[in-house]
Amino acid sequence: MRQQQDAFGRALLDTHLHRGGCAVIERDDGYVDSDRSLETYFAGYAKWARPEQQAVQRAKGRVLDIGAGAGRHSLYLQNKGLRVTAIDVSPAAVELCRLRGIKDARVKALAQLNAKDGKFDTVLMLGNNFGLFGSFNGARRLLKKLASCTSADAQLLAEILDPYKTTDPSHLAYHKRNRRRGRMGGQLRIRVRYKQYVTPWFDYLFVSEPELRRIVAGTGWEIGDLFRGDGPTYFARLVKTKRQGGLRTLVKR
C-alpha cells in the first residue's frame, strides 16, 4: 500500500498521536458514512462487548491477528504471555502497533502468508475482520490457505456482521443491487478517505449465519461455537474439520 492510499492507518495513527482522526467510508453506490468511533480501536478489555471478551479468551498457543489495526487484541494477548504476530496491509497501522509495544507486527496481507511464517494455533479476525475475505470465493480460498498454515487443532475466532439485520432502505436497496449483479447481498465495494489519503476500492464481506455455513463447508474448517449479542454482529469460533457436522453450541449474551 502506497503512503497516499493508507487512509485508515493514518487516521488511527493520528488518533493515537492526538491529531484528530475521522475516517470516511464510501460505498460504490454513493452511500457515505463517517467512522466516528476510532477511539474504540484503542479500548481496553473492560470496554469490549461480552461476546468479544468471550472470543478472545479462547485464544491459545501462537496467535495470528489479521487486520490488527491499532493492535488492541494483539496487545491484550501479548500481555497475557501469548506469542502474537500482528499483520495489516497498512504500514501506518503496523507502525502504530509497534509504537504501542507489539513485538511482532508486520506489513502483510493475508494472501501473502507462506510456510516461512510458521504454524499458528489461533487466528484472530475480530473487529468485523471476517469481512477482509472480500467475497464468497475469496473466503473459501483464503480459509483453505489458513488451514494449511495452522496447527492440527487450530481455531479461528471471527467477528462477523449479519447485513440483513437492518431496516435501513439504503442498505436493503444495496443488497438487491448486489444480487442483480451476481454478488452476495452483503458484499460491499468500498474505499476509505482521510484528509488527503484514499484507499483503492476493495470488497468487504458481511454474511449471515447460513451463508457462513456455506462458505466454511469443505475448506478444512467447521463451525465450533457462535456467540451472539442483541445487534447484527456475532462471533464465530471455527475449528479444524475432524468429523461431519459442526455446530456444537450457541451462546447468547
What is the total residue count of the chain?
Answer: 253
Q: What are the pLDDT digits (tens) for 119-129?
A: 999 999 999 99
pTM equals 0.92
Q: Which tens digit of pLDDT belongs to each residue from 154-199?
A: 999 999 999 999 999 999 999 999 999 999 999 999 999 999 999 9
> Which sequence spans correspond to the domains of the chain?
47-169+180-186+203-252
Q: List the grid coordinates of 169.
A: 432502505
CATH number at 47-169+180-186+203-252: 3.40.50.150
pLDDT of residue 19: 82
Residues forming a β-bridge with 198: 193
CA distance 220 to 56: 22
Cα separation, 225 vs 150, in Å, equals 19
Longest dimension (CA), the chain: 52
